[in-house]
Amino acid sequence: MDGIYKSFSGVQVLRDIHLDLYKGEVHALMGENGAGKSTLMKIMAGIYRPDSGKIVYQGQETVWHNPLEARGKGISVIHQEISLSPNLTIGENILMGTKFPKNRLGLIQWDVIHKQAKTILESIGSSLDPRTKVSELSVAQQQIVEIARALSFNSEVLIMDEPTASLTDKEIDKLFVIIDDLRQRGVAIVYISHRMDEIFRISDRCTVLRDGQWISSHPISQTNPELLVKQMVGRELSDLFLKTFTPPSLAEKEPVLELITVSDKDIVDKVSLKIHPGEIVGLAGLVGAGRTELFRTIFGISKMTTGEIRLDGKRVTIKSPIEAMKHGIAHVPESRKEQGLFPNLSVKENIIMNQMHTYRKAGVLQYERMNPEIDKYIKDLGVRTASPEQNVMGLSGGNQQKVVIARWLSIGPKVLLLDEPTRGVDVGAKTEIHKIICELAEKGLAVLMVSSELPEILAVSDRILVMHEGKLKAELSREEATQEKIMYYATGEIKK
């Protein structure tokens, strides 16, 4: 790709980008959210056409007219945001876009489809049943299906955009075995990730983008994490993750949220915890430990079968998210695209959605009354947008997450449930979101945060709770918590 330019609605997104990709290499594409990585990959995959510049593929200058044409030539994509059809089975999703086998009567041979899908799943070490509907899967399981679908095509080029964001360490190890196998077969892989350990473990070369411009390309062996971060964000690593931490004095404060032996119908098993005003409590555990399910129970999405919830010392009954909101509980969900955003609406409409009813007069929305509040959230949370009228899907992942947080702050909550708040977010945006979380706690908001990234849990939390198979296994103070200790409890061990 040479001299690639691309703009949307007059906003220049890519300027003079260069990228070389060779057979049998893993090429890391680095940069903050909004740097242009996903846009560049969408051009490579035929989703967008560049305004100018050229693409040379297998020695010939090429113009893709649509994604199917690019895929037919051997370019497959695993997108950052999961794009499966939830009402179809795993097998149907994996083989979607291929010619389904039929019998002599012209009927689709579903057994053959599921057998083919099972073979692909087993090749990446997954035991998922191809007949299961995607709507019944967790985010991590859906990510595995995405990977299997991309691998179902005989790809010459495979683009992986944050493929491990929802995978466990064991699943990541399996994925890297597959990547090594593909590399040996001559497949060229573009690997986008914000996890430095992955980049240095799996990549051969890297290219860094910043603000839509090419910064550098070089072998991974000739760089280091500090240099890459400096090139990505334009400042030294030492400038990042600086946070003055002043734990609130909790002795004289009543818990704002208290759970007493709370269970759901599936995995949450007699969980008891307390969170005080101004406190950030990290909730750690492996995928499937029940952290997200606990949030869904607190927020009234899942039914609570035993136990009680208390707010400000008073027992409350929460049977729906609307009731949770009335009690001052806000929930930023795990998946922005599927659960957090209204993709067809603007930044403005996404921010104000929870309070839209307060801006109606005689059934007509009064946008002029909304604007000052919306502008305040955009400014306070540092949402980078061309305009409040911009479609929210035109923002980077980090800015989309800020929009989701802004919407929930608009209800003036007492308790903020954050489920993987920096999933798929780059180093710079991650720091900004950490700062927002800490500032909210300083103003008295009680924060319960799920994160699969232990450095994040350790950096932001006052206390850390560890879950395993639906149960709380440990409560650790900030001072005593370490990655090793958290993992010890997360795997089900109990220290004597």
What is the pLDDT at residue 206?
95
What fold is seen in the domain 2-235? Rossmann fold (3.40.50)
- Answer yes or no: pTM beyond 0.85: no
Q: Which residue has the tokens 């061990």?
A: 493
Those residues with Cβ within 8 angstroms of residue 48's Cβ, 6 or more apart along the chain or in another chain: 6, 39, 42
Q: How many CB atoms lie within 10 A of CB 15?
A: 15
> Which one has a higher pLDDT value, 170 or 183?
183
Q: Is 138 helix (H, G, I), strand (E, B) or coil?
A: coil
- Does domain 257-490 fall into CATH 3.30.750.200? no
With a cut of 80, say whether residue 153 has pLDDT above it: no
Asked if domains 2-235 and 257-490 share a fold, the reply is yes
The torsion angles phi and psi of 487, rounded to 5 degrees, stand at -65, -30
What is the pLDDT at residue 247?
56
Query: How many Å apart are CA 11 and CA 188, to the nearest integer?
Result: 31
Q: State the sign of the Cα–Cα–Cα–Cα dihedral 485, 489, 493, 495.
A: positive
pLDDT in tens, 3-24: 999 988 777 889 999 999 999 9
Bridge partners (DSSP) of residue 61 are: 56
Two tokens at 320?
A: 């729906």
Contact 237, 252 (CB under 8 A): no
What is the pLDDT at residue 237?
45
On average, the pLDDT of the chain sits at 85
pLDDT in tens, 432-467: 888 888 888 888 899 999 987 787 888 889 899 999
What is the pLDDT at residue 238?
46
Q: State the sign of the Cα–Cα–Cα–Cα dihedral 297, 303, 306, 307.
A: positive
What residue spans define the domains of the chain?
Answer: 2-235, 257-490
pLDDT in tens, 212-258: 899 999 999 999 887 887 788 775 544 444 445 555 565 557 899 99
Those residues with Cβ within 8 angstroms of residue 134's Cβ, 6 or more apart along the chain or in another chain: 84, 85, 86, 87, 88, 89, 90, 93, 142, 145
Those residues with Cβ within 8 angstroms of residue 163's Cβ, 6 or more apart along the chain or in another chain: 78, 143, 146, 147, 175, 191, 193
Query: How many Å apart are CA 248 and CA 228, to the nearest integer?
Result: 36
**Quick one: average pLDDT of 307-327?**
93
Those residues with Cβ within 8 angstroms of residue 298's Cβ, 6 or more apart along the chain or in another chain: 257, 259, 262, 309, 318, 324, 329, 331, 417
Contact 321, 299 (CB under 8 A): yes
pLDDT in tens, 65-77: 999 899 888 898 8
pLDDT in tens, 399-410: 888 899 888 888
How many Å from the N-terminal Cα to the C-terminal Cα in the chain?
Answer: 58
Two tokens at 125?
A: 């070490």
Strand arrangement of the beta sheet that strand 446-450 belongs to: 329-332, 415-419, 446-450, 280-284, 463-468, 471-477
